């Protein structure tokens, strides 16, 4: 069994991690549990970083965390991704890191697509119309959403966000928890 990095973080910083917070591995290596490689982030921000930005150094992560904490209302995942991209642009990151993050996000999208297939969510994009099917107990539930996008790549990105936002799937109970 692997090391519990949450407990390591709590012990090192002498604190209890709040309910809606997660521990982020700065270098994306979940085996590297050194305290300087771990940072506590709100769950929604943590996921948005992985889905829209990629990896940031500790200093920039702390700036982004402060920015996020100043927000008074909870943002939708798609809008948070949009605002997060704007804030990260202000950080003037080196072009090498920006290019590396583009590859990271593209790879993450590929992994997420495989996950959707695995849990029974199938998607098809045609003329920016998203059709996805959730199969529960051998019954298909079809959903359709029109997507306004400039090109197919942007439409696919929006489709992934919509699919992940419309349902929560409990694979142990084999049912949709939320739509």
CB 44 within 8 A of CB 77: yes
Tokens 């209890």 belong to 16
CB 37 within 8 A of CB 29: yes
CB 155 within 8 A of CB 147: yes
Q: Can you give the pLDDT at residue 129?
A: 52
CB 108 within 8 A of CB 51: yes
How much is the average pLDDT of 72-99?
Answer: 87
Question: pLDDT tens for residues 124-136?
Answer: 444 445 555 555 5
**Torsions phi, psi for 178 (to 5 deg):** -150, 135
Question: pLDDT tens for residues 147-158?
Answer: 555 555 665 665
Q: How far apart are CA 121 and CA 130, in angstroms?
A: 12
Is the model's pLDDT at 164 over the cut of 70? no
How much is the average pLDDT of 73-94?
Answer: 86
This prediction has a pTM of 0.64
Residue (of 64, 56, 58, 57) closest to 101 by Cα position: 56
| Cβ-count burial 53-85 (b if 16+ within 10 Å, e if not) | bbbbeeebbebbbeebeeeeeebebbebbebbe
Q: How does the average pLDDT of the chain come out, rounded? A: 76
Question: pLDDT tens for residues 22-66?
Answer: 999 999 898 999 999 999 999 999 999 998 899 999 999 999 999
Cα end-to-end distance, the chain, whole Å: 35
Q: Can you give the pLDDT at residue 74?
A: 75
Q: How far apart are CA 19 and CA 129, in angstroms?
A: 37
Q: How far apart are CA 47 and CA 152, in angstroms?
A: 23
Provide long-range contacts, Cβ within 8 A and 24+ apart, for 100-107: 100/54, 100/55, 101/53, 101/54, 101/55, 102/54, 104/28, 104/54, 104/55, 105/51, 105/52, 105/53, 105/54
pLDDT bin (cut points 50, 70, 90) of residue 71 is confident
Q: Can you give the pLDDT at residue 82?
A: 83
């Amino acid at each position: 069994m692997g090391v519990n990095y949450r407990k390591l973080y709590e012990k090192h910083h002498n604190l209890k991690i709040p309910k809606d917070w997660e521990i982020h591995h700065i270098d994306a290596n979940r085996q590297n549990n050194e305290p300087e490689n771990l940072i506590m982030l709100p769950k929604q921000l943590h996921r948005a970083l992985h889905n829209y930005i990629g990896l940031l150094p500790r200093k920039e992560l702390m700036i982004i965390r402060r920015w996020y904490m100043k927000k008074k209302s909870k943002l939708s995942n798609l809008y948070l991704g949009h605002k997060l991209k704007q804030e990260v642009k202000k950080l003037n990151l080196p072009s090498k890191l920006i290019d590396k993050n583009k590859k990271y996000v593209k790879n993450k999208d590929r992994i997420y697509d495989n996950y959707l297939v695995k849990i029974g969510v199938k998607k098809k994009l045609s003329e920016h119309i998203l059709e996805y099917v959730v199969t529960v107990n051998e019954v298909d539930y079809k959903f359709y959403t029109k997507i306004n996008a400039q090109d197919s790549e942007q439409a696919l990105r929006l489709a992934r966000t919509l699919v992940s936002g419309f349902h929560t799937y409990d694979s142990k109970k084999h049912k949709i928890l939320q739509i």
